[in-house]
Amino acid sequence: TGTLMQGKRGVIMGVANDRSIAWGIARAVAAQGGEIAFTYQGEALEKRVKPLAESVGSSLVLPCDVADDASMDAAFDAVAKAWGKIDFLVHAIGYADKQYLRGRYLDTPRAAFLQAMDISCFSFVAVGQRAAALMEAGGSLLTLSYLGAERVTPHYNVMGVAKAALEASVRYMATDLGERGIRVNAISAGPIKTLAASGIGDFRYILKWNQYNSPLRRNVTIEEVGGSGLYLLSDLAAGVTGEVHHVDSGYHIVGMKNPDAPDI
């Protein structure tokens, strides 16, 4: 524990359970004295998120469906009413119909494409608008991406295209908000077994591949993503914006398979 986030308040979106990346970030922020408002997608998740929130001293737990403008308005109105201003926002939300997270990208229908873009990319813009309006003395916005945005990774398909758009959004939002001292960054996380990841075809193979071929020869944890998230949200990263920071055991630098890797 420490004091890096003492006096800072913010919203963390995307906790579904205690394996969520958002939860790893929340724990790191809370351990440094940050105050957190949590949002969850739907009623089914409320009973999971409430006790987690309570365990880090948070009583502000709000429903927020990012597909719905009124729901986002209500959540941020409630935060504004409780706190007036905020200092940080974590957007750890993504979705694509899992039917299209296998097979060929070329076969993606329009509706699945638009939904993946809406929930996984535009929603960061939408919540960024609302969060920035509550940031008076600067702030930090953080989202989560994946290597499939930069290169072809098996089965990631339409999600990779949405993450590419999300990473471009990070750069444009960083430019729009820079003058106000609001920083905008992404963490490109290595594969982690979460609810969202279970929708991706052959995810076990992807985990093994990264374990055998990344420089650190292992996968990352939500605690490690939490630590790097904490850095980007805190004043330690006061000079950092528009960045896509890889927290992936170094896998993104690898050009060829590790010749000593066992068969998967």
Q: Which residue numbers are catalytic?
A: 146, 156
Which tokens belong to 94?
């993504």
Binding residue for ligand NAD, selected from 76, 95, 124, 209, defined by CB under 6 A: 95
Q: Parallel, antiparallel, or unpaired: how do β-strands 35-40 and 61-63 relate?
A: parallel
Binding residue for ligand NAD, selected from 119, 131, 142, 177, defined by CB under 6 A: 119
Span 125-144, contacts to ligand NAD by CB under 6 A: 144
**What is the smallest separation between the CB atom of 122 and ligand NAD, expressed in angstroms?**
11
Judged by CB under 6 A, the stretch of 8-16, 108-116, 170-178, 208-216 that binds ligand NAD is: 8-16
Told to check if 247 binds ligand NAD by CB under 6 A, we report no
Q: Parallel, antiparallel, or unpaired: how do β-strands 88-91 and 61-63 relate?
A: unpaired
Told to check if 173 binds ligand NAD by CB under 6 A, we report no
Binding residue for ligand NAD, selected from 18, 50, 60, 65, defined by CB under 6 A: 65
**SS3 at position 11:** strand
Told to check if 160 binds ligand NAD by CB under 6 A, we report no
CA distances for 180 relative to 109, 130, 133, 136, angstroms: 39, 14, 11, 8
Question: Are 164 and 121 a contacting pair, CB within 8 Å?
Answer: no
**What is the smallest separation between the CB atom of 48 and ligand NAD, expressed in angstroms?**
9
Told to check if 26 binds ligand NAD by CB under 6 A, we report no
Which tokens belong to 185?
């960054």
Told to check if 16 binds ligand NAD by CB under 6 A, we report yes
Binding residue for ligand NAD, selected from 5, 10, 20, 140, defined by CB under 6 A: 20
**What is the smallest separation between the CB atom of 39 and ligand NAD, expressed in angstroms?**
7
Binding residue for ligand NAD, selected from 26, 29, 61, 66, defined by CB under 6 A: 66
Binding residue for ligand NAD, selected from 4, 92, 127, 131, defined by CB under 6 A: 92
CA 156 – CA 147 distance, rounded (Å): 10
**Pick from 113, 86, 83, 85: nearest CA to 97:** 113
Question: Are 237 and 231 a contacting pair, CB within 8 Å?
Answer: yes
Told to check if 226 binds ligand NAD by CB under 6 A, we report no
**What is the smallest separation between the CB atom of 44 and ligand NAD, expressed in angstroms?**
9
Question: Are 197 and 16 a contacting pair, CB within 8 Å?
Answer: no
**Pick from 60, 1, 8: nearest CA to 31:** 1
Told to check if 89 binds ligand NAD by CB under 6 A, we report no
Q: Parallel, antiparallel, or unpaired: how do β-strands 88-91 and 9-13 relate?
A: parallel
Phi, psi of 88 (to 5 degrees): -150, 160
Told to check if 197 binds ligand NAD by CB under 6 A, we report yes
**SS3 at position 184:** strand
Interface residues toward ligand NAD, by CB under 6 A: 14-16, 20-22, 41, 45, 64-67, 92-95, 119, 144-146, 189, 191-192, 194-197
